[in-house]
């Protein structure tokens, strides 16, 4: 193992590890280093060692919006899959969630406890960390509106808590990008379990019907602008079903990108670039990327 990492971290580190198996699109080469920390303190130690050695770091949650090039990622990928880094803990009217926890699991857990504030996000893929960094939204409300605080590793490598107002939540973005998010505390509201459950189930069915059922390798490449959805923009510009090699947009739900057998990262990027260019030319709207490209 590379000696730039302390020996005590070697058991959780591996070199030249494939990433495509952990990504929804199933595309991409290996990570130079892949770590699976068991505890938050190990995440801090990994980040400290990588910073000292000048090694780039990426945190990996559910892999729903990550595209890795075939050359791979020449740095350290920290997979937040351990129980502590993916924990969900309800304390009164708050939820403490590890960054690696599934957003859907957090929704189900809080609804079952009669806590409102996240139920509108059901059916949206990804992890808590990614959802908060990107300030994911649905039904006119973003996740940042329910955040009380975020625990991060800051630019100096220190573990600290940021209040919600420090996180700079805005439409589909925050100032957390570039920081390692460890866990998030949500301030929720006591509500009737039955009514919450009904609302969640209705949204879940609706979103499930609009997802390509026969295409497991999918991603949503674009962020919805604040005035119109990416889906509507793509439909209006006649780009539904457009294809580039072995990558296409779904014909009915074109905000989904589908990676068919033999798909490559270059094909994904070519298609995304083509769609962005046409939407900008025809509507004047510059679609922003939801995909994180490594």
> Where in the sequence numbering do the catalytic residues fall?
172
Encoded tokens for 77: 């990928």
Angle, vertex CA 172, rays to CA 154 and CA 176, nearest 5: 0
Longest dimension (CA), the chain: 56
Helix (H) or strand (E) holding 267: helix 265-283
Q: How far apart are CA 204 and CA 218, in angstroms?
A: 18
Alpha-carbon distance 54 to 206, whole Å?
Answer: 46
- Strand order through the sheet with 30-35: 13-18, 30-35, 73-79, 57-60
SS3 246: coil
DSSP 108-167: HHHHHTTEESSGGGTT--SBHHHHHHTT-EETTEEGGGGEEEEEEE-TTS-EEEEEGGGG
By three-state DSSP, how is residue 182 classified?
Answer: strand
Instruction: List the structure tokens of 199.
Output: 């609302």
Q: What is the CA radius of gyration of the chain?
A: 19
Residues 234 and 237: their CA atoms lie apart, in Å, by: 5
Both structure tokens of 148: 């009380």
């Amino acid at each position: 193992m590379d000696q730039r990492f302390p020996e005590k971290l070697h058991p959780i580190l591996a070199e030249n590890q494939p990433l495509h198996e952990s990504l929804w699109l199933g595309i991409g080469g290996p990570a130079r280093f892949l770590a699976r920390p068991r505890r938050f303190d190990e995440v801090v130690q990994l980040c400290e060692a990588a910073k000292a050695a000048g090694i780039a770091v990426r945190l990996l949650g559910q892999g729903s919006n990550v595209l890795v090039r075939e050359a791979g990622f020449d740095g350290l990928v920290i997979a937040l899959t351990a129980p502590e880094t993916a924990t969900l803990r309800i304390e009164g009217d708050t939820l403490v969630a590890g960054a690696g926890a599934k957003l859907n699991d957090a929704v189900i857990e809080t609804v079952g406890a009669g806590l409102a504030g996240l139920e509108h996000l059901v059916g949206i893929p990804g992890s808590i960390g990614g959802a908060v960094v990107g300030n994911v939204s649905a039904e006119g409300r973003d996740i940042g509106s329910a955040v009380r605080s975020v625990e991060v590793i800051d630019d100096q490598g220190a573990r600290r808590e940021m209040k919600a107002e420090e996180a700079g939540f805005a439409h589909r973005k925050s100032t957390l990008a570039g920081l390692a998010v460890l866990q998030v505390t949500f301030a929720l509201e006591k509500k009737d379990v039955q009514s919450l459950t009904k609302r969640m189930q209705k949204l879940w069915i609706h979103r499930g019907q609009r997802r390509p059922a026969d295409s497991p390798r999918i991603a949503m490449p674009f962020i919805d602008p604040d005035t119109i959805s990416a889906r509507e923009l793509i439909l209006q510009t006649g780009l539904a079903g457009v294809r580039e090699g072995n990558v296409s947009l779904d014909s009915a739900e074109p905000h989904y990108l589908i990676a068919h057998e033999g798909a490559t990262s270059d094909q994904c990027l070519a298609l995304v670039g083509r769609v962005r260019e046409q939407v900008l030319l025809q509507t004047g709207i510059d679609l922003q990327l939801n995909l994180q490209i490594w």
